[in-house]
Amino acid sequence: MKISTLVKTAQFLFGFWYIALFWTSCHNRDVQRDTYTKIEGSTMGTYYRVIYGGDVSKSKAQKGIERILSDINRAVSTYDPDAYISKVNMSASGSVSDMPAHFKTNIERAWYWHGRSDGYFDPSVMPLVNYWGFGYTPKRAVVSMDSSRVDSIMTIVGLDKWSFEIEHEILTKLDHRQQLDFSALAKGYAVDMVGAYVGDQLKATNYLVDIGGELRARGVNSKGKPWTIGINIPTYDAGLQDVMVYLRLSDISLATSGNYRNYHEVNGAKYGHSINPKSGYPFQDRLLSISVLSKDCIDADAIATACMAMGLNKARTFITEIDGTEACFLAGNEDGTISTYYTDGFIQYTYEP
């Protein structure tokens, strides 16, 4: 699979770019108005939205959805001190077992993508995420970077410093300071689980699940067409209708990773929440964001995170090695323009309104 390139330009405003992902169900009030239900709420520090076609009551569907999200949070949320992952993180060195199913799936996929990405996807970066002010500890910018402190933290970062016996479901940490963070794939996993519930339990063949911009689209919207997704022009002042790339999605998942929302500013300079697990420092590259299409959202989420850590050139090569995966890269240029790079297969999902 080759990478094809399409360059679009947008004016550089306020010296910084961000990308915002939005979606719309293209709801037509005159067609099948009563057959599609919309549910919204909060989870994982962000929003969730679900639209599905069918006769299942909204209250029943919402109870089922929120039960699933609650169970996932109790397994993998680092912000919940009673969650299983928090107990692992706060435990002494040694082995833990009796894993909840949601935790087990996340650690298995994390382990897989860690190896597949040559270590660029690494959920053991939690101590670094906390140091740089993006974790469950109080949010604060690092005003004066301490390289010796970063070097010290790096001695406990790396999944190679853990042991995981998949068959026996035994996870072992070698140092009590080691911690895990599944935020780079947990939202994608939750999208998959909610989608499975809506499809298998509610018997909805047409639905869209969105958790904080991670998406799973199945079937068609209320107009009988693929779900319409927009990727914004990545500027500070861009509104949700300022779209750079339009997509039509059906029976596929989408995840986007970037440093356009969660960042700190120190003396006029900005650094984002994406941490390079190989260097210990926030990601620095012209790659602004990547949007990944894959069958399952958990995989799209992990791949997007790994690509952000790699940077544009390595990420473009990495994507071509993964079957069933397509991507759109948005990269900034020195002259203030944005270059948009598509894999060949991604182009079929784009359209001009």
**Residues 139-182: pLDDT tens digits?**
565 545 667 777 778 888 999 899 998 888 899 999 999 999 99
Contact in structure between 206 and 214 (CB atoms under 8 Å): no
Residue at a domain's end among 145, 173, 201 = 173
42 and 97 in a single domain? The answer is no
For residue 21, the model assigns a pLDDT of: 44
Q: Do 204 and 290 sit in the same domain of this protein?
A: yes
What CA–CA distance (Å, rounded) separates 200 from 54?
A: 12
Residue type, 196: A
Instruction: Quote the CA–CA distance of 251 and 40 in Å, as a whole number.
Output: 21
> Nearest CA to 120 among 261, 345, 318?
318
In a domain, 17, yes or no: yes
Question: What would the DSSP string read from start to end of 141-163?
Answer: --SS--HHHHHHHHTT-SGGGEE
Which candidate, 286, 300, 294, 298, places its Cα nearest to that of 331?
286
198/341 same-domain check: yes
Q: In the prediction, which pLDDT does 5 show?
A: 40
Q: Same domain for 81 and 168?
A: yes
84 and 196, same domain (yes or no): no
Final residue of a structural domain among 116, 144, 173: 173
3-class secondary-structure state, position 324? coil
Whether residue 142 is contained in a domain is answered as yes
Residue 112 lies inside a defined structural domain of this protein? yes
Q: Do 48 and 85 fall into the same domain? A: no
Tell me, yes or no, whether 179 lies in a domain.
no
Q: What is the pLDDT of residue 31?
A: 39
Query: In terms of domains, do 210 and 298 share one?
Result: yes
Same domain, 37 and 118: no
Strand partners, 328: 291, 342
Give the C-alpha separation, 114 to 122, whole Å. 6
Domain final residue pick, 146, 173, 200 = 173
Q: Yes or no: say if 81 and 51 are a contact pair by the CB < 8 Å rule.
A: no
pLDDT number for residue 10: 35
| Same domain for 329 and 192 | yes
Q: Do 290 and 258 touch, CB atoms closer than 8 A?
A: yes
Pairing of strands 227-232, 214-218: unpaired
10 Å Cβ neighbour count for 140?
10
Please tell me the predicted confidence (pLDDT) of residue 152.
77
Residue-level length of the chain: 353
Give the neighbor-by-neighbor strand order of the sheet with 243-249.
Answer: 21-24, 227-232, 243-249
Nearest to 290 by CA among 335, 322, 250, 334: 322
333 shares a domain with 219 = yes
Point out the residues of the chain with pLDDT beneath 50: 1-34, 143, 262-272
pLDDT at 134: 63
Q: How many domains does the chain have?
A: 2
In the sheet that holds 36-43, the strands lie side by side as 3-8, 338-343, 326-332, 287-294, 252-258, 214-218, 207-211, 46-53, 36-43
Q: Residue 203 is part of which domain span?
A: 3-72+185-349
- Report pLDDT for 206: 97
> In this predicted structure, what is the pLDDT of residue 336?
83
Torsion 219-222-223-228 (CA) sign: negative
Question: Is residue 123 located within the same domain as residue 238?
Answer: no
- Domain match, 82 and 59 both: no
Q: Check which CATH number belongs to the domain holding 78 and give it.
A: 1.10.3980.10
Residue written as token pair 């270590």:
119
